[in-house]
Amino acid sequence: MSALKVFSILLLCCVAYSVCYDYKTALTDSLLFYEAQRSGKLPSDQRVTWRKDSALNDKGNSGEDLTGGYYDAGDFVKFGFPMAYTITVLSWGVIDYADIYTSTGNLEYARKAIKWGTDYFLKAHVSENEFYGQVGEGSSDHSYWGRPEDMTMARPAYKITTSAPGSDLAGETAAALAAASIVFKTANSSYSATLLTHAKQLFNFANTYRGIYSQSISDASSFYSSSSYADELVWAAVWLYKATQDSSYLTKAESLYQEGNLQYSNGGFDWDTKTSGVEILMSDISSNTIHKTKAKSYLDYMVNNQQKTPKGLLYIDQWGTLRHATNVAFLLLQAVKLGIGDSTYTTMAKSQVDYALGSTGFSYVIGYGSSYPTHAQHRSSSCPDAPATCDWNTYNGQQANAHVLYGGMVGGPDSNDGYTDVRSDYVHNEVACDYNAAYQGALAALIKLGVS
């Protein structure tokens, strides 16, 4: 089917059922969500002004400045592994849809969202083979309900080293810095070069000193346990190739792919598992047609065989159903861009994003539409402005969150489209930096396709 025909059909649906979606507003709001997640000293152009400076004493074991970066989700731990994935995937969208970011007035905000992560990664990369992968301790952080501006619990910092390695964490961070170096290539060439230098060092660290980061940073294992580092090593080499055009990285990617025996599973693409994303990127840069075949068979499976809720949401995992569904949507749209997919991919991708935005009558994106979550599990937005008290009574109260966390997409419904808007349900009603990353890219891709 021609692109024009797809466009006409989608336009017809939009007019006939009068369910058009404002992807531009959703994209703009998603960048506001990232502002709300900022840790550290906030800049003068901060738009989410109910957030203030916080965690200004975040330090490494030798006193290194580790302020900045992003709070992970509804909590205030800075988990490096999902944060790096977030920056890689956000960058992917900005690289491929820079024109859309520009035309919607979001390019500068998107660059700042990426730089908020990369500035922190540069600080955390304290020497060639040493990288801080977490600040804050899971259980003490989670036993606190209140504003990040007021927290007083100890925030220990944890690093990977040659004797306690983490190839997944170092690899994903290398990917993030390499991808971000492309974003900044013309906007700030010296910054771009700095990002690339650190990306190369972190890739060497990842590749030379092999290990699973959540065994080295054991506190992360209860929250973001990594299943393997084989995918991140390939993913990092791929992004380094894209950033440098140095064919040795492509060769490295192919050999690491063989060595790691990368096999996509029919599960999701997420902070832990990048194999399906690797296949899409390799389809573009490798002459080996196996990648295109595998990318297509993964996505065909998603479209035709993956479990779906009665209302059509891809159901991959109970945790963050919408994140998984919109991650797949982004990959489907990337495949379409590469000429691998057809209109069934576009239709499926659009239906997943539209589900998030309210096709069932309820929007799962905070502040979007007329009916959306008002009790998301999210500490900072739940709190009224200081000096009002904010504690577990606030959490337990029936009242709505005090601030509208524009753009944050909650976990989403269960396998039967069921959902309850309560703060206690972190499985379905929490937000997270990683949830919004590919979703934001999918919004840009849909705007690019001219559908609504």
Ligand X SMILES: *[C@@H]1O[C@H](CO)[C@@H](O)[C@H](O)[C@H]1NC(C)=O
Task: Please state the closest distance from residue 32 (CB atom) to ligand X, in A.
Answer: 22
Q: Which span (1-9, 30-38, 186-194, 397-405) binds ligand X, by CB under 6 A?
A: 186-194
Q: Which residue, 188 or 221, is less far from ligand X as judged by CB? A: 188
Q: Among 46, 140, 161, 188, which residue interacts with ligand X (rule: CB under 6 A)? A: 188
- According to DSSP, residue 274 is labeled -
Q: Which span (147-155, 188-196, 219-227, 334-342) binds ligand X, by CB under 6 A?
A: 188-196
Compute the distance between CA of residue 180 and CA of residue 185 in angstroms, rounded to an integer: 8
Task: Please state the closest distance from residue 449 (CB atom) to ligand X, in A.
Answer: 32
Task: From 73, 59, 68, 62, select the one nearest 154 (Cα to Cα).
Answer: 59
How far is residue 443 from each of residues 21, 218, 280, 324, 338, measured CA to CA in Å? 10, 36, 18, 15, 17
H helix count then E strand count, the chain: 19, 3
Q: Establish whether 270 is a catalytic residue.
A: no
Task: Please state the closest distance from residue 143 (CB atom) to ligand X, in A.
Answer: 36
Q: Which residue, 190 or 398, is less far from ligand X as judged by CB? A: 190
- Sequence-ordered list of residues with C-beta below 8 angstroms from that of 242, at least 6 positions apart, any chain: 178, 179, 182, 281, 285
75 burial level (CB within 10 Å; 0-12, 13-18, 19+): buried
Positive or negative CA dihedral for 438, 444, 449, 452?
A: positive
Question: Is residue 191 close enough to count as binding ligand X by CB under 6 A?
Answer: yes
Q: Which residue, 67 or 382, is less far from ligand X as judged by CB? A: 67
Q: Which span (78-86, 131-139, 184-192, 355-363) binds ligand X, by CB under 6 A?
A: 184-192
Task: Please state the closest distance from residue 85 (CB atom) to ligand X, in A.
Answer: 22
Compute the distance between CA of residue 203 and CA of residue 177 in angstroms, rounded to an integer: 10
84, two tokens:
């790096």
Q: Which span (12-20, 185-193, 406-414, 440-448) binds ligand X, by CB under 6 A?
A: 185-193
- Site track for ligand X across 137-176, x = CB under 6 A: ----------------------------------------
Compute the distance between CA of residue 174 and CA of residue 170 in angstroms, rounded to an integer: 6
Q: Which residue, 119 or 417, is less far from ligand X as judged by CB? A: 119
Q: Which residue, 118 or 346, is less far from ligand X as judged by CB? A: 118
Q: Phi and psi of 47, rounded to 5°?
A: -90, -25
Task: Please state the closest distance from residue 188 (CB atom) to ligand X, in A.
Answer: 4
Which of 300, 417, 421, 425 is labelled catalytic? 421
Q: Which span (15-23, 187-195, 283-291, 305-313) binds ligand X, by CB under 6 A?
A: 187-195
Q: Which residue, 115 or 428, is less far from ligand X as judged by CB? A: 115
Q: Give the count of residues interacting with ligand X (CB under 6 A).
A: 3
Task: Please state the closest distance from residue 371 (CB atom) to ligand X, in A.
Answer: 41
**Residue 133 contacts residue 158 (beta carbons within 8 Å):** yes
Compute the distance between CA of residue 164 and CA of residue 83 in angstroms, rounded to an integer: 20
- One-letter amino acid of 188: N
**Residue 238 contacts residue 281 (beta carbons within 8 Å):** yes
Question: Half-sphere exposure of 380 toward its Cβ, with a 13 Å CA cutoff?
Answer: 31
Q: Which residue, 21 or 191, is less far from ligand X as judged by CB? A: 191
Q: Establish whether 421 is a catalytic residue.
A: yes
Question: Is residue 209 close enough to count as binding ligand X by CB under 6 A?
Answer: no
Helix (H) or strand (E) holding 291: helix 290-304
Task: Please state the closest distance from residue 257 (CB atom) to ligand X, in A.
Answer: 34
Which of 231, 270, 430, 434 is labelled catalytic? 430
Active site residues: 421, 430
Using CB under 6 A, list all residues that contact ligand X. 188, 190-191
